[in-house]
Amino acid sequence: MGKLDKFELIRKNRLAVNKAAFDQLTEEQQKAIRAAQVALRSFVSDFSECFDVNTTTARELQECFWAMNMAFETEEESK
């Protein structure tokens, strides 16, 4: 393989750092992040194509919100 240019090297290093950090998360946290990535990608696609979001995408975003909330909750909510 040829020599990487500056930006390819930066990206490769960033991906390695991201992967190392991601691997330190719990399985629940990893699943929540992956699901959020899929739902957000779907939202961005739907919204950019027709400036509209279908109910399935909205429901996926809501489910991802709660999965992220549960996976990364760090303290009790004050009531």
Task: Confirm whether pTM is higher than 0.85.
Answer: no
Q: What is the Cα–Cα distance from 57 to 41, expressed in whole angstroms? A: 10
Q: What is the Cα–Cα distance from 31 to 41, expressed in whole angstroms? A: 15
**Cα–Cα–Cα angle for 36, 25, 13, rounded to 5 degrees:** 85
pLDDT computed for residue 41 by the predictor: 87
pLDDT computed for residue 24 by the predictor: 96
Q: What is the pLDDT of residues 50-77, one digit of tens each?
A: 777 778 888 888 998 888 888 887 777 6
pLDDT computed for residue 71 by the predictor: 86
